[in-house]
Structure 1
């Protein structure tokens, strides 16, 4: 267990919070039975890459909150900038002919950072609303250009694009598709997950790439090219398991989109603002010029909620055609919130001033190298890492890549063991996913890898002793 610190609450206050949490707080992805029985890990403080629970235990947060605490927690200059903005202007109406100076400054800054002619910004409240906005913008654009039939959307299986009904439907992540919810199906289609580790038997990476591109083009032609409006893709799939596609995949898919007049939406909610060593990954890393980029998370490093849908001059010229008297009747009470925009501007300033993109290049390469050493361990089928996005996939059989039965809960087992040693990784079924703050040091990389190694070996021995794992 991590060493208790000064942040520890009294036993009475801790008990009161546990009781209140169970009685009143419904969490995102709430696991009813588990929460009722086990309660939560209640966090009371954060400092840099570390967080502290009510018992005063310190944890190295290799999850980075939820892909989002990029500059680290507890920065005084962020607190001061936010407080100053609250004093000056805590809120401003973002609709119609109302604006505020910091929202304008942020949109100008985002336009300067985004690739190509992505010069127009619609500010939202987070990643889900940014993707939702992108979807609505595509529909609006196609109607404005006189193509009301061109409304179908293609995405990938097991992607994650948000948690609204619409964005969850676009994402189609298997673990999120619980039967108690309904999903949108009309005009939303999916093609294969570009995971080289799970490519069809007998295909090498080059053959898998050709298969994926052909499948995409065949899907377009089956629907009708005049019917397909947009393609949604994370440059590297995040919550779907840090899926790093075959080399050249994104550019090839973008070229197909260009050929059939299909808008390419790069969902960079996770990959932007430094996680891959760039402000935006699409062009700099993958040579793709999107029509729309969605972003959130690292935009404010989670100090306050904010997202953005950044789109091209090409789209703007159509929807803002003079003399049409149009209104884009879409918005959120808290989009363009001056305090959130101030947090974003200060966050970007810190990333630039402290050269965090360059830091990610160096430490990210070290993280890739060190995590790869876990590949020889029992249980480990695949290790995927690019800069500060990483995943370890666990299998029951390395040769066949067969997964453990769901009841084994392998990702959770290893996560729980790591938590007891002061390390947080994110369990997703048979995966442990990591997205640490960009300020991570090489020493902290060593701590992550060494702790994970211990946990994997301990869980493997435990499963083998109980007859649930045969060993290899």
Structure 2
């Protein structure tokens, strides 16, 4: 008897869909020439850590969708919970004097999971809108404090904080800074990427740490401490290449923020909900008590779109001061959406019931160990992995760390060969990035590493044969 997936595949008109996709669907990060020529990989089904295309090919999704399919795909109890909520209440106005039970319950749950006094939650539609909300909240807070000049924020080069105009400007990821877009530069500043592998020549990690802290403090003083309002930081930088900072870096940066009355915004859109083995990584992994946490992705494991900006009593007491008659004129039609909130509550229930945080501790350690074995391969300059966030960086010269020319697109060369073998990793220029579902098994870890090994060796041989690599 045919499975539901097989029945679905039998009814798919591949040629028509490919043509329609090219004609009508503008994707995120749309590569115009490449898409016009090749089209896209059309996914029609998912089960656990695997996804299926229209040809029936199965792929181990080591990307986890977009850092987000934490509990895995195809869970029946998620479908039932979502369907039940649709039947009971499909939508409720989230503005001003209206609420709904599941949004309230979710905010209460998030406040209980977040560290310290982060007891207040503004629900959004995803990670970009959560970070956008954090920025606006900072501006609102400073105005309420009577500090209208304290509006500048600092982030890091090659970070990623979202894809709205504002959040893309805060992130300043090099590959995203295309000349056809404009970016907000007023009151947004950047300091160095805390990547130990790319530290200035001659600096060991402790020296690099001191350089980063001094640079940050110098930047604050050059702007004026009375003008700097916030610092935005991913605990581990995700799309910028899984940058694991020097030991003690985040705590030291937080201490500088405390010294100069600067709000610390932990962008945990990727690192929260289990990717590093904790619901939130800032305090439990990095010993930092942020003023604001932004989250999304693993909040619902991507079953439905939802994000949150979680902030402290310190901020709340200022902006909600009694008798001021203030209104926080910011909101989204679909924030606090009851169906999305139901998905989040069920997702958190599954993470807790199935002890997925503990699972990540065990399997994440194994992933770190196994990926490290790729370090001796040609092309591999650096392997970075902490729990379920991983990256392999490829270089043309292991001694100098020189990169291949952009047009070689080394990350895509290896990814395309992995895809042909049933493995998806995310190519970002000279990187392959991974963020697998938290349900990944040790056997699937072996599959990822062994497939990558074969693909890296194959590409190295091809490049060497064409005179583009000399086996340094």
TM-score, with structure 1 as normaliser = 0.99
CA separation in 2, counterparts of 1:29 and 1:468? Answer: 28
CA separation in 1, counterparts of 2:272 and 2:5? Answer: 34
CA separation in 1, counterparts of 2:10 and 2:287? Answer: 54
**Stretches of structure 1 lacking an aligned partner (at least 5 in a row):** none
Contact 2:12 2:54 in 1 (8 A): no
Over the aligned positions, Cα root-mean-square deviation in angstroms equals 1.9
Instruction: Quote the offset at 1:471 in angstroms.
Output: 1.3
Instruction: Quote the offset at 1:93 in angstroms.
Output: 0.1
Instruction: Quote the offset at 1:470 in angstroms.
Output: 1.1
Query: 1:214 maps to which residue?
Result: 214
Give the match's secondary structure for 2:9. Answer: coil
Give the match's secondary structure for 1:255. Answer: helix
Contact 1:7 1:56 in 2 (8 A): no
Instruction: Quote the offset at 1:4 in angstroms.
Output: 14
The superposition leaves residues 397-434 of structure 1 with CA deviations (integer Å, 9 ceiling, x where unpaired) of 00000000011000000000000000000000100000
Instruction: Quote the offset at 1:468 in angstroms.
Output: 1.0
Instruction: Quote the offset at 1:358 in angstroms.
Output: 0.1
Change (3 A) 1:14 1:186: same
Instruction: Quote the offset at 1:211 in angstroms.
Output: 0.1
The superposition leaves residues 421-469 of structure 1 with CA deviations (integer Å, 9 ceiling, x where unpaired) of 0000000010000000000000000000000000000000011111111
CA separation in 2, counterparts of 1:34 and 1:18? Answer: 13
The superposition leaves residues 35-86 of structure 1 with CA deviations (integer Å, 9 ceiling, x where unpaired) of 0000000000000000000000000000000000000000000000000000
CA separation in 1, counterparts of 2:34 and 2:102? Answer: 43
Query: 2:459 maps to which residue?
Result: 459
Instruction: Quote the offset at 1:5 in angstroms.
Output: 7.8
Change (3 A) 1:3 1:344: closer
Structure 1 stretches of 4+ with a deviation exceeding 6 A read: 1-5
Instruction: Quote the offset at 1:125 in angstroms.
Output: 0.1
Give the match's secondary structure for 2:390. Answer: strand
CA separation in 2, counterparts of 1:340 and 1:138? Answer: 26
CA separation in 1, counterparts of 2:33 and 2:4? Answer: 29
Change (3 A) 1:176 1:3: farther
CA separation in 2, counterparts of 1:176 and 1:40? Answer: 20
The superposition leaves residues 334-368 of structure 1 with CA deviations (integer Å, 9 ceiling, x where unpaired) of 00000000000000000000000000000000000
Contact 1:5 1:57 in 2 (8 A): no
Contact 1:4 1:58 in 2 (8 A): no
Contact 1:3 1:58 in 2 (8 A): no
CA separation in 1, counterparts of 2:182 and 2:151? Answer: 21
Contact 1:156 1:191 in 2 (8 A): yes
Contact 1:394 1:403 in 2 (8 A): yes
Contact 1:8 1:57 in 2 (8 A): no
Give the match's secondary structure for 2:6. Answer: coil
Instruction: Quote the offset at 1:8 in angstroms.
Output: 7.0
The size of the alignment, in residue pairs, is 472
Instruction: Quote the offset at 1:10 in angstroms.
Output: 4.8
Contact 2:233 2:265 in 1 (8 A): yes
Contact 2:5 2:45 in 1 (8 A): no
Contact 1:102 1:342 in 2 (8 A): yes
CA separation in 1, counterparts of 2:468 and 2:285? Answer: 42
